[in-house]
Every structure is written in structure tokens, then in C-alpha cells.
Amino acid sequence: MSPSPDLHAILALDKPLGITSMQAVARVRRLAGGARTGHAGTLDPLATGVLVLALGKCTRQIESLMATEKRYLTEIDLTAFTATDDVEGERTEVPLGSPGAAAAPPARAELERLLAERFTGTVMQRPPAFSAMKVGGRRAYAMARKGEAPELAPRPVTIHSIALTAYEWPRVALNIHCGKGTYVRSIARELGQALGTGGHCTMIRRTAVGAFTIDRAVRMDALPDRITQEWLDAHGVAAPPAN
């Protein structure tokens, strides 16, 4: 397939479980004949949902797209922490009644109070050890995979709203509306720390990146064998006028 440098669009994918954001980019780039392609914000392999891609001239908009607000659904297991803050890492159990732990499952009202008081607005959040943050020029996840403990300082993030949508011990379901740089996995860990329980994500689904919502996203298995400008015009957002 010959390169297609004249393809230009912004496309929202519904990224499936188990692949990296760069693997999704590589697939679209290949189907688009080698057109320049980038993404506007990483999704973890164990997260699904909206991954916004930019092709051709639209790659100039990646920085502004990354700055937009995001929406997530997540489910949290309060019985254990993990090294990765999700189900990929080894579990460290936190039995109720153990030293330093809660004596009993927290009440729904306590969860709602904590979410409103400590997890809404501009808050300080420590990124996961397994993240793309850089420490001394090295990626934190690369250090963590070698058994090192990267020193990641808390940083301010904005959480516009965080709603408890379901709770049955030890499972919590949240609907999150947040700003750039917020880690959902950190919310799980820090919620567990605040409650005196464990806390890690068992599911993360990004439902919106700015105006790009999950109902507008194209499933990976629905991509055509060859991506053309005509297909992009029908499924994405067209490029700005040429200059």
C-alpha cells in the first residue's frame, strides 16, 4: 500500500482491552497507508474506551486535544492494593480489622462524604508507580518493572465531579469527570488509603475526551481494510482548510 500523506482527520476509537495506545495508533497508521498518526492521551492496556487519534495536518491539534476534560467509568476493589493500582499487579491484601485497617466495611454515606470532600475540585494526587511520568529522565514504569521505587511527588489535578454509582462491599463503581493529567488508578489507591481499606481498579472505561464521546467512537474491529479520506470524512472530524 502506498503512503497516503494527504489523509487528514481526527478520529475517536473505542480502544479494546489488552492493547496499548501505540499499538492502536500503529494499526490505524498502517490501514491509512502510512499517514502521519498520533494520539491525544494514552489509555492503559487494561483500560478501554475513547482514544482520540489525529491524522495528517490534524496532528497539530494533539496538544489542545490533550488539554480537554475527560470522563471515565471505573470499578474498584477495596480489599487489596496492587503495585500497578489495577488487576495487573500483585495483590497486597488489607483484611478488615487488621492493624491500621478499617474494622468494618465503610458505609455508603462515608464513601460519598470522602468523595465530595477529598476527591472533588483541585486535589493533590500521586501518580501510579507504573505510569509514563518521568523521574530523572526515565519513565516511572520502566523503573518499577526493574524493581526500583520511583519517587513520584503528588501534583495538582482537577476533578470536576466524582459520583458513586454503585456500592456493594468490596466493589465500588464511580463516574468521574476530570481534567488533564488525572489518574483514575490513583483515585482507587488514595480512596482505599483514606478509608483504611485496599483500593485498586478492576475496570476503567474512558467515555469522553472533550467533545468526543463513546457513542461516536469507532470500534477497532469495525475499521476498514483501507482507511481513505472518504471513510474518515464519514466517521471522524474533517481537517481544517489547507494553508
For the chain, where are the E strands, in sequence order?
A: 9-15, 37-39, 47-55, 70-77, 80-82, 91-93, 121-125, 134-135, 138-139, 155-168, 171-178, 200-209, 212-213, 218-219, 237-238
> Rounded to whole angstroms, how far apart are CA atoms 100 and 90?
20
User: Which pLDDT tens digit goes with each residue over 93-149?
Assistant: 999 999 999 999 999 999 999 999 999 999 999 988 766 666 566 666 666 665 666
* pLDDT at site 133: 65
3-class DSSP state of 211? coil
Peptide bond into 105 cis (omega under 30): no
The reply to whether 70-209 shares the fold of 9-67+211-238 is yes
The CATH homologous superfamily of the domain defined by 70-209 = Pseudouridine synthase (3.30.2350.10)
86 among known catalytic residues: no
**Cα separation, 210 vs 202, whole angstroms:** 24
Using CA atoms, how far residue 21 sits from 7, 18, 40, in Å, is 20, 10, 10
- Residue of 44, 77, 85, 86 marked catalytic: 44
pLDDT 10s digit of each residue in the chain, 243 long?
444 568 999 999 999 999 999 999 999 999 999 999 999 988 989 999 999 999 999 999 999 999 999 999 999 999 999 989 999 989 999 999 999 999 999 999 999 999 999 999 999 999 887 666 665 666 666 666 656 666 678 899 999 999 999 999 999 999 999 999 999 999 999 999 999 999 999 999 999 999 999 999 999 999 999 999 999 999 987 654 443
Q: Checking DSSP bridges between strand 47-55 and strand 200-209, what pairing results, if any?
A: parallel
Q: What is the pLDDT of residue 1?
A: 46
Domain ranges of the chain: 9-67+211-238, 70-209
What does pTM read for this prediction?
A: 0.91
CATH homologous superfamily for the domain 9-67+211-238: Pseudouridine synthase (3.30.2350.10)
Residues 6+ apart with CB under 8 A from 153: 126
Task: For residue 164, list its beta bridge partners.
Answer: 174
- The cell numbers describing 112, all together, are 460519598
